């Protein structure tokens, strides 16, 4: 894979490991009583923390939280993370109310091997997002080695994701290693044929993604609101549907690119429409173009779903970003849920490598109840999307072994 992992770190007894995690977790409650409402990202960091503890290292955790923009904002402190993380680890996690300077240094100095310390919000300092060399140097001075376990922040060239990695021996944490391995298996060196599903509302936000994928995949299915723009570009009436009509030429260009690269493009064969979007709205299946002026396309039709399932069944690898319809509002979740369950069953049976990512996609797989059946589900959001676009991620590049 070309990046260093912790099994290559050697003897870590008594050494201080600076571990970049992503504890930018959802919270609820008032400024003085914030509580973590979803500990998924805390649990994702546990394997790396436990491995470092087992190796006798002192574990110092670095993270951002929210957007304090270089200022100390009390309600954006990482302190509320300490209690739930301590509970998950089964031991007390220590806390320092700064991430650089005397208070951070004395807290690190007092650590015993195997102890865990969480430093205060990196973004309290403007040098973090600016990737300021002096701030990176101040962070690096606290440790002997650097571990990046935050793929979700790897698309940012910040001091804690890129700067420190240039100053200390740098390694991928267990969560990062698992993510990079899964992504390499899905798009870097996949078992073919490879099919992609790209959904969501706007082509404009996924232009780079679509143009890159048609050069990498054997098949690409386009769903959601962006499919409406493709249908419009092909001369089909889309009624009152969301549609970026000014991007019709771009849609036609992507269709041409797919043809030039022998990537078979799957656009809807039939559609589900309604006069309004709302729970339990009267949904009707229509043929392409047979849309009344006031109707909106809100899901993929049954014929489209069946053809997509056949295409997946004849593939070895699936990579998925974005739903096929407005899955948050039943009955317009049917297309997405049906395809998700079909792909999940194949992956669970070992017949398909199925990798998915992006917030809406993860939510859709959870709605379908199949997230655990997929080979890998990334919660990384922007980093996952930029990786799919073929862009270099600074936080990953900094871990790569130099020739």
In the chain, the percentage of residues whose pLDDT exceeds 70 is: 98
pLDDT at 201 over 60: yes
pLDDT at 30 over 80: no
Query: 310-325 burial, b for 16+ CB within 10 Å, e for fewer?
Result: ebbeebebbbbbbbbb
Q: What is the pLDDT of residue 350?
A: 97
| Mean pLDDT within 132-154 | 97
pLDDT at 46 over 60: yes
Of the pLDDT bands very low, low, confident and very high (cuts 50, 70, 90), residue 382 is confident
Return the C-alpha torsion angle 256, 261, 263, 264, nearest 10: 50
Return the minimum-mean-pLDDT range out of 28-37, 64-73, 172-181.
28-37
Q: Which residues is 197 bridged to in the sheet?
A: 221, 320
In contact, 386 and 353? CB cutoff 8 Å: no
In contact, 74 and 31? CB cutoff 8 Å: yes
Q: What is the pLDDT of residue 329?
A: 94
Output 402 or 21, whichever has higher pLDDT. Answer: 21
Q: What is the pLDDT of residue 28?
A: 80
CATH topology match: 6-175 vs 182-388: yes
| Mean pLDDT within 222-249 | 96
What are the structure tokens assigned to 81, written together?
């993370």
Contacts of 286 (CB under 8 A, 6+ apart): 270, 271, 272, 273, 295, 301
> For the domain with range 6-175, which CATH number is right: 2.40.33.10, 3.30.70.1170, 3.40.50.300, 3.40.50.1260?
3.40.50.1260
| Mean pLDDT within 362-366 | 92
In contact, 211 and 187? CB cutoff 8 Å: no
Q: What is the DSSP letter of 153?
A: G
List the catalytic residues. Answer: 41, 202, 359, 382
Q: Which top CATH class is 182-388? A: alpha beta
Q: What is the DSSP string of 58-91?
A: EEEEE---S--TTS--GGG-SGGGHHHHHHHHTS
pLDDT at 35 over 90: no
Domain ranges of the chain: 6-175, 182-388
| Mean pLDDT within 5-16 | 95
Query: 243-258 burial, b for 16+ CB within 10 Å, e for fewer?
Result: bbeebbebbeebbebb
């Amino acid at each position: 894979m070309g990046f260093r992992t912790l099994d290559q770190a050697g003897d870590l007894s008594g050494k201080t490991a600076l571990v970049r995690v992503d504890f930018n977790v959802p919270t609820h409650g008032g400024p003085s009583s914030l509580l973590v409402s979803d500990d998924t990202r805390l649990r994702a960091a546990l394997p790396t923390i436990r491995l470092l503890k087992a190796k006798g290292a002192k574990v110092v955790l670095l993270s951002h939280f929210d957007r304090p923009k270089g200022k100390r904002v009390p309600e954006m402190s990482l302190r509320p993370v300490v209690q739930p993380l301590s509970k998950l680890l089964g031991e007390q996690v220590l806390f320092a109310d700064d991430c650089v300077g005397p208070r951070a240094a004395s807290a690190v100095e007092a650590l015993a091997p195997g102890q865990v310390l969480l430093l205060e919000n990196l973004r309290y300092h403007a040098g973090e997002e600016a990737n300021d060399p002096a701030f990176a140097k101040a962070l690096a001075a606290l440790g002997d080695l650097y571990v990046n376990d935050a793929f979700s922040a790897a698309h940012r060239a910040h001091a804690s994701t890129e700067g420190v990695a240039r100053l200390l021996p740098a390694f991928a944490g267990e969560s990062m290693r698992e993510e990079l391995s899964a992504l390499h298996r899905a798009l870097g060196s996949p078992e073919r044929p490879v099919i992609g599903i790209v959904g969501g509302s706007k082509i404009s936000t996924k232009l780079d993604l679509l143009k890159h994928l048609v050069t990498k995949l054997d098949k690409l299915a386009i769903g959601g609101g962006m499919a409406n723009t493709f249908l419009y570009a092909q001369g089909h009436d889309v009624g009152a549907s969301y549609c970026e009509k000014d991007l019709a030429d771009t849609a036609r260009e992507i269709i041409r690119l797919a043809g030039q690269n022998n990537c078979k493009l799957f656009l809807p064969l039939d559609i589900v429409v309604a006069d309004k979007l709302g729970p339990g709205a009267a949904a009707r299946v229509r043929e392409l173009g047979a849309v009344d002026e006031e109707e909106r396309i809100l899901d993929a039709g049954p014929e489209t779903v069946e053809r997509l399932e056949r295409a997946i069944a004849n593939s070895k690898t699936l990579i998925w970003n974005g739903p096929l319809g407005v899955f948050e509002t039943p009955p317009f979740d049917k297309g997405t849920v049906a395809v998700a369950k079909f792909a999940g069953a194949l992956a669970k049976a070992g017949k398909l490598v199925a990798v998915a990512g992006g917030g809406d996609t993860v939510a859709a797989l959870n709605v379908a109840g199949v997230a655990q059946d997929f080979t890998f589900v990334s919660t990384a959001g922007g980093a996952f999307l930029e990786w799919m676009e073929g862009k270099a991620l600074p936080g990953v590049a900094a871990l790569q072994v130099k020739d």
